[in-house]
Copies of this chain bind each other. A is one copy, B any other.
Amino acid sequence: MPRRPSYDREDLIKRARDLFWTRGWAGTTLKDLEHCLQMKPGSFYAAFGSKDALFEIALDTYANDGLNRLKTLEAELGPLETLQRFPAMVIENEDAPAKACMLAKTLLELQAHDHPLAETANQHLLRMEDQFAQLFENAQTAGKVDATRDPKVLARRYQSDLMGLRVSAERKGVDAQGIATEIANSLSQL
């Protein structure tokens, strides 16, 4: 009996994710969202409940996409080459609306306000870190990385360098691809 929505929910979430990703939490107003999603306030709140609720969905989508891209890449290239290629891929991805990591941006913006979304972002970053550690461990098993190194330590440093790269890539006049190449090269020496 009911009337069905005229929108594609997944498409709306991706558009909202891109908006939040580029403009941040406070920098994205409901007016921005209404325009971007072509929804009036009533529909928006019926569909998503609140700005924060949609931001959380967007964060989850972002993080899951990142994890899946990493796993797909490993199946194609193997663990070491995945770790080497990932930095360059992330900053040259033309589908992405920004270079910097949405999780890092969210953390930096909301951590000081003790906003729950900062903790959500941190949890997603921890999941990413675990995945990086898994890749290092697989590379060690394959004999491509010194087996005496702690994969968790390697992952921690790798993730940190990756976040730095992605902040650098957001700047104008910085050769981020050069930095990405160096990160990849330093992995060859492990």
User: Within 8 Å of chain B (Cβ to Cβ): is A73?
Assistant: no
Q: How many copies does the complex hold?
A: 2
User: Within 8 Å of chain B (Cβ to Cβ): is A125?
Assistant: yes
User: Within 8 Å of chain B (Cβ to Cβ): is A3?
Assistant: no
User: Within 8 Å of chain B (Cβ to Cβ): is A153?
Assistant: yes
For residue A15, give the distance in angstroms from its CB to the closest CB of chain B: 15
Return 24 A-B CB contacts under 8 Å, by A number.
A22-B112, A23-B113, A24-B26, A24-B108, A24-B109, A26-B27, A27-B112, A105-B108, A105-B109, A108-B167, A108-B170, A122-B171, A122-B172, A125-B171, A157-B179, A159-B168, A160-B161, A160-B164, A160-B168, A162-B164, A163-B163, A163-B164, A163-B167, A164-B165
Residues of A within 8 A of B (CB): 22-24, 26-27, 98, 100, 104-105, 107-109, 111-113, 119, 122, 125-126, 153, 156-157, 159-165, 167-168, 170-175, 178-179, 182, 186
